[in-house]
Amino acid sequence: MTPPFPKVSIVDIPGKGQGVIALEDIPRGTLIVAETPRFTFPPNPTLMTPENLKFFMSFPGAVGEDPLDGRYKHFVPLVGNSDYRSGLFTTICKLNHVCPSPDDGPNATYFWDERSKRELLHALRDIHRNQEICVAYFQQDSRGTQDPAAYLRKKFGFDCSCRGCTRPVAERQRSAERIAAYTKFVDDLPKHYGLRNAFGILKDIEKQLLIICNEGHVGEISSRAYDAFQLCAMHGDADSARKWEELVRDESKLYCGGQSPEVEKAVGLVMNPSSFRQWGVLKKTKLFGPVCVYMACRVSFLSEHLC
């Protein structure tokens, strides 16, 4: 049975039109909304009611754009659905965008669940009562190669007013340097296995994870947790490997759903970490499971303690 959904409301948000706020505290991991599309593309005539057309027209259209064509950009792709390419949802399409940054970042994420034929929205962080619920409209990875403001202007036709985009240049530069250092760490990581002290590598993975989460990139947790799992598995530490893989499993559920191949693989490795193909190839060592990483999703403004 589905637990009751937390209460949310669609309200006016200064400078962004409408948006969605939480009417109660919502813990990280909560399923906030599960919605069927109100309107689909290609259009389904049975859904073309006057009420739905009015809802469609409630979305902002850019000056000089065709009033209908311009509004199709607010549709969400229904990845994995063979009947329709995209849909317009009552609550989910009213969510505004936020770029990852130390002051802010998406506190929720959604995906199409083909089994239930619903779009599911999960909390990525603890969300407080009256806080706006925001998502990232595109997957901006930690490599930071894209200029998010320019991309949003071109693809979605609006000037992003999120806290990350409106920071002074020096602050944005500092973030770019941290992200570059993190990216280098990740790229070099496999070279360290077997050469450096495993305990030190694991500590560095946690430290880098905290830094990147503090830059708003909480989507990095599952990849780094998987790195940590591999390290523990290579050193034959089943307990620690299992704890890291539990984190991979739980994070993947938020982004891809409980029935996804990613989650199924993680469930298998949690049950039997020694099924990992490189199990025990390095010297047997007792390592540790995630210690501080849970803080990363909950606590903001960690950077001064870390750098």
Ligand X SMILES: C[S@@+](CC[C@H](N)C(=O)[O-])C[C@H]1O[C@@H](n2cnc3c(N)ncnc32)[C@H](O)[C@@H]1O
Number of residues that bind ligand X (CB under 6 A): 19
Between residues 88 and 186, which has the closer beta carbon with respect to ligand X?
88
Which position has the token pair 């990852």?
100
Q: Which of 41, 156, 185, 279 binds ligand X (CB under 6 A)?
A: 156
Q: Distance between CA atoms of 227 and 247, rounded to whole angstroms?
A: 11
Closest to 47 (Cα-Cα) out of 75, 70, 79: 75
The interface mask with ligand X, positions 67-106, x = CB under 6 A, is: -------x------------------xx-xxx--------
DSSP for residue 135: E
Q: Which residue is nearest to ligand X (CB)?
A: 17
Q: Which amino acid is at 108?
A: A
Which position has the token pair 């929720």?
108
Interface with ligand X by CB under 6 A: which range of 13-21, 44-52, 140-148, 249-257? 13-21
Between residues 156 and 288, which has the closer beta carbon with respect to ligand X?
156
Between residues 162 and 179, which has the closer beta carbon with respect to ligand X?
162
Which position has the token pair 């990095």?
220
CB atoms within 10 A of CB 164: 21
Q: Which amino acid is at 85?
A: R
- Distance from first CA to last CA of the chain, Å, rounded? 45
Closest to 136 (Cα-Cα) out of 148, 125, 144: 148
Residue 268 CA to chain centroid, in angstroms? 23
Interface with ligand X by CB under 6 A: which range of 36-44, 160-168, 235-243, 248-256? 160-168
Distance of closest approach, residue 108 Cβ to ligand X, in angstroms: 13
Q: Distance between CA atoms of 125 and 218, rounded to whole angstroms?
A: 9
Q: Which of 5, 151, 158, 199 binds ligand X (CB under 6 A)?
A: 158
CA atoms lying within 13 Å on the CB side of residue 60: 15
The interface mask with ligand X, positions 161-190, x = CB under 6 A, is: xx----------------------------
Between residues 12 and 188, which has the closer beta carbon with respect to ligand X?
12
Instruction: Answer for the pair 88, 75: CB distance below 8 angstroms, yes or no.
Output: yes
Interface with ligand X by CB under 6 A: which range of 24-32, 109-117, 156-164, 228-236? 156-164
Phi, psi of 226 (to 5 degrees): -70, -40
Interface with ligand X by CB under 6 A: which range of 17-25, 26-34, 109-117, 231-239? 17-25
Q: Does 17 bind ligand X (CB under 6 A)?
A: yes
Distance of closest approach, residue 138 Cβ to ligand X, in angstroms: 12
The interface mask with ligand X, positions 254-293, x = CB under 6 A, is: ----------------------------------------
Distance of closest approach, residue 143 Cβ to ligand X, in angstroms: 21
198-216 per-residue burial string, b: 16 or more CB within 10 A, e: under 16: beebbeebbebbbbbbbbb
- Would you tell me which residues interact with ligand X (CB under 6 A)? 15-19, 58-60, 74, 93-94, 96-98, 156, 158, 160-162
